[in-house]
Amino acid sequence: MRVVILPEREVREVPAGTVADLLRRLGLHLDAHLVVRGEDILTSDVRLAEEDEVEVYPVISGGA
């Protein structure tokens, strides 16, 4: 499946599995990233298909 990792827009091909599997394969922390397919934010248990294209966003927080 095709994965776009933001903000660098790095494109990777990764075997399909669950969202949690995807983040593990990419070496990214589950609580620090959002995985989006189309307009949907996916939870860690969602199964991905080989034809899927997803984007991975870092979670950014801030405050005063």
Token duo for residue 9 = 């827009």
Q: What is the pLDDT of residue 64?
A: 62
Q: What is the pLDDT of residue 63?
A: 63
d(Cα 27, Cα 22) in Å, to the nearest integer? 9
d(Cα 23, Cα 30) in Å, to the nearest integer? 6
Q: What is the pLDDT of residue 61?
A: 72
Domain boundaries, the chain: 2-58
Q: Which helix (H) or strand (E) holds 60?
A: none
pTM of the model: 0.90
> Per-block average pLDDT, block size 10, for the chain (64 residues)?
96 96 96 97 97 96 66
What CATH number does domain 2-58 carry, 3.40.50.1440, 3.30.230.10, 3.10.20.30, 3.30.70.1150? 3.10.20.30
Longest dimension (CA), the chain: 42
> Which residues fall within 8 angstroms of residue 21, CB to CB, at 6 or more apart?
none
Q: What is the pLDDT of residue 60?
A: 82
